[in-house]
Amino acid sequence: MDTTGRKIRVLLSKCVQDGHESALRYIAQTMRDAGMEVIYMRHELIGDVIKTASEEDVDVIGLQYFGAGLMYEVPTLMNMLKERKMDDIKVVLGGTITPDEKKTLKEMGVAEVFLPSQGRVIDIPDVIKGLVG
């Protein structure tokens, strides 16, 4: 819960074309176990994420990238969030992302990037709680 007693609401999504599922699904379970509300979706276009985030009034958007689309979809998403004044939503990313890409993505305003070498999913809810405060 955040300071007002409301449960932290997290939107988790991956591109609908990507079949990799186990990590994101396990993260969803881990976040629910940590008391968060998780909305799980698959997006066809990155704009779909904005729509759901707005409807569901989420605090955090978490996206998975196991390959293609990262350096196209994330900048698009960050711009759209700014344009719609939704940039109080924290964006976190995970997947096959390099340390160099992490730096670039954080410069774009991404709140946190979990690299594949991190290895522990169990720590992620605390990081999220820290971001939302």
Partner 1 sequence: MFSDEVLRKAEEMEQEWKKRAEEQQRQSGQTLKPGKTMSGFELKPMYTPLDIKDMPFEDIGLPGAYPYTRSSSSLHYQIEPLMMQQGYGFNTPEETRQRRDFLQRVGFRRRVGREGDEASLKCVIDLPTQWGLDPDEPAAAGKVGGDGISFSNLDDFRLLFDGLDLQNTLISVGCSSNLISLVSLFATYVTDIRKEDLAKTKQVCINMYHNGWGQRDHSGYLPENALKLSVEVIKWHLENVPATFMAMDHGYDVAEAGATPVLEIAFAIAHVTEVMEACVKAGLDPNKVASIISGHPHLSLRIFETVAKLRAWRRVWAKVMKERFGCTDPHALGHHYYTGQTAGVELPAVEVYSNIIRVTIMAMAGLLADIEGMWTSSFDEALSIPTEEAVQLSVRTQQILVEETDVSYVTDPFGGSYFMESLTNRMEEETLKVLKKMDDLGGYRKCWESGWMRGQVERACNERLRKIDTGELIKVGLNKYRVEDFSPYKAFPRQTNEGEKRIIERVKNYRAKRDQAKTDKALASVKAAADRIVKYWPESSGELHRACVEAAKAGATAGEMGRIFRETFGYGYFSG
Give the footprint of partner 1 on this chain (CB under 8 A): 15-23, 25-26, 29, 42, 44-45, 66-73, 76, 96, 98-99, 101, 115-117, 119-122
Least distance CB 42 / partner 1 (angstroms): 7
User: Please, which residue, 59 or 92, has the CB nearer to partner 1?
Assistant: 92
Least distance CB 99 / partner 1 (angstroms): 6
Least distance CB 63 / partner 1 (angstroms): 13
Least distance CB 34 / partner 1 (angstroms): 13
Helix (H) or strand (E) holding 53: helix 47-56
User: Please, which residue, 10 or 59, has the CB nearer to partner 1?
Assistant: 10
Residue 87 three-state SS: coil
Distances (CA, A) of 13 to 41, 94, 100, 110, 121: 5, 11, 23, 15, 16
| Cα 86 from Cα 116, distance rounded (Å) | 28
User: Please, which residue, 59 or 94, has the CB nearer to partner 1?
Assistant: 94
User: Please, which residue, 46 or 59, has the CB nearer to partner 1?
Assistant: 46
Taking the CA atoms of residue 125, residue 41, residue 74 and residue 122 in that order, the dihedral angle to the nearest 10 degrees is 20
Tokens of 86: 């939704």
